[in-house]
Amino acid sequence: MALCILAVSGRAPPLCHRREAASGHRPPFSAAAAQVVARRKLKHATGAAGTRSCIPALCLRTGLRNGSAIRAQTDMAKVSGPIPPPEHPTFDLVALIWRALEEDAGGVGDVTSLSTIPKETKAVATFLAKADGVLAGLVVAEKVFEQIDPRIKVEWSAADGDRVTKGQKFGVVTGPAQGILIAERVALNFMQRMGGIATATAAMVAETEGYPAKVLETRKTVPGLRLLDKWAVLIGGGQNHRMGLYDMIMIKDNHIAAAGGITAAVQRAQSYLKDREMSMGIEVETRTLEEVREVMELIDSQAAGGGEANPVTRVMLDNMTKMDPANDSGIDVSMMQEAVALVGGRVETEGSGNVTLSTIKRIASTGVTYVSVGALTHSVAALDISFNIETQ
C-alpha cells in the first residue's frame, strides 16, 4: 500500500513513501513528487523567461546549481591556519559549508536581504567578543564568506587559538552588504561553537598543568561536525581521540559482552587485523580492577610469546572514580590510582568518567596518560560573539 501526500499548494516538500510488508523497502519520493519539487525550485530560481532572478552566489544556485562547479572537494591538508585540522579520509569542508548555507536558504534564498538591500550596497562589519574565551573557527568563517561572494574580504587582528577578552574587536569584513548578511549567521554558528569548545578545552588543559596527562575529547560530537569539533579541541590545546570507527579498535563494555569476554574480544580483533594486513592501535575499556588484571595478563602473555603485530596499546579506566564531598577535591580516585599501578606503564592509560573542571586535576594526578572528556563537545557553551554591520 502506498502512502503519498503531495503538498502542491503549500511550502512543505511532498512526502511519498511506499510501505512494503515483505521487504520494508521505502522509496523516498515518487516520480511525480520529484517533478513537483523540481518545478517549484525552478520557479523560485528563475524569472518568467527562465533566467536567474538573483546573483548565483546570493540565491545559492537554487534549482539551477551545478554541483561539480560549486562543490570541488576541499583538500584539508591545504586549509591554512595556525593550527591545522585533524585528518579525515572523506571530510569536505566546502560541502559542509554549502549544506549549512542551503539549509538557511531553504531553496529560496535570503528573502530579507535580497528584498531590502540594493545589490550595489557596500558594507563594513566587525566581529566583537562578548565574553572572554579562545577563538576558533576563523578559518572556517572566512571560507563561508568566500563561498557566498569572493568580493567579500575578511581581515583578522587575531587568529585561531588566541585568547580574547569581552569587548575586544578581532575581525573586519568588507564587501557587498547582501553577501555579508547572507553569510553572517552560518559563519557565526561555526565560530561560536568551535570557540566554545576551544575555550572549554583550554580551561581543562590549564587544570592539568604539572601532570603528564593529555586532555582528549570523545566521539560525542554533533553529527556532520565531528572534524570541526575535534579541530576546536586541538585549537584549545587538547589532543584528539580516535576520529571515528575506522582508525582505532576500541573494545568497550558492549563489545566485551557481545564477544563473550575481554580475552575473546581482543584475540578476535587481532585476528581481524592480521587477516586483512591492517595495523592500528587497540584500546580496551575496563570498569573494575579484575578487568584491568585480565587485560594485563593477556598483554604480558602475548609479549612473552613473542608479541602481537597489533598488541593492546591502551587501557581505559572507566568510572574508576566516585564523587566524594568529604574529599578535599570532591572526588575519590583511589581505585584509579590502583589501576594505574597495575598497568605499571606497560601501555597507555585513559581515565574517563566524572571528569569536570573541578575534578580533572585530581584525576590527572593519578598518573593516567590521558583524560577523556565527553563534555568538551556534547554539552559545550558557545562563545558569545557579535557581528555589527555599517553601510558605506
Q: How far is CA 23 from CA 16, 18, 26, in A?
A: 17, 11, 9
- How is the beta sheet containing 153-156 ordered, strand by strand? 153-156, 169-176, 122-129, 385-391
149 has catalytic annotation: no
Catalytic residue among 285, 291, 314, 350: 285
In 3D space, the residue among 288, 227, 281 whose CA is nearest the CA of residue 253 turns out to be 288
First to last CA, the chain: 60
43 has catalytic annotation: no
Catalytic residue among 52, 163, 169, 252: 252
Would you call 366 helix, strand, or coil by DSSP? Answer: coil
Looking at residue 102, the DSSP 8-state letter turns out to be H
Total Cβ atoms within 10 A of residue 139: 23
Catalytic residue among 185, 242, 287, 322: 185
What are the counts of helices (DSSP H) followed by strands (DSSP E) for the chain?
A: 13, 16
Distance CA 53, CA 76 (A): 34
Instruction: Using alpha carbons only, give the angle 127, 129, 132 rounded to the nearest 5 degrees.
Output: 160
185 has catalytic annotation: yes
Catalytic residue among 220, 242, 287, 322: 220
220 has catalytic annotation: yes
Report yes or no: 3 and 17 within 8 Å, Cβ to Cβ.
Answer: yes
The 3-class secondary structure across 28-92, one letter per residue, is CCCHHHHHHHHHHHHHHHECCCCCECCCCCCCCCCCCCCHHHHCCCCCHHHCCCCCCCCCCCCCC
Report yes or no: 273 and 248 within 8 Å, Cβ to Cβ.
Answer: no
Catalytic residue among 142, 184, 318, 350: 318
322 has catalytic annotation: no
Indicate which residues carry an active-site annotation. 185, 220, 252, 285, 318
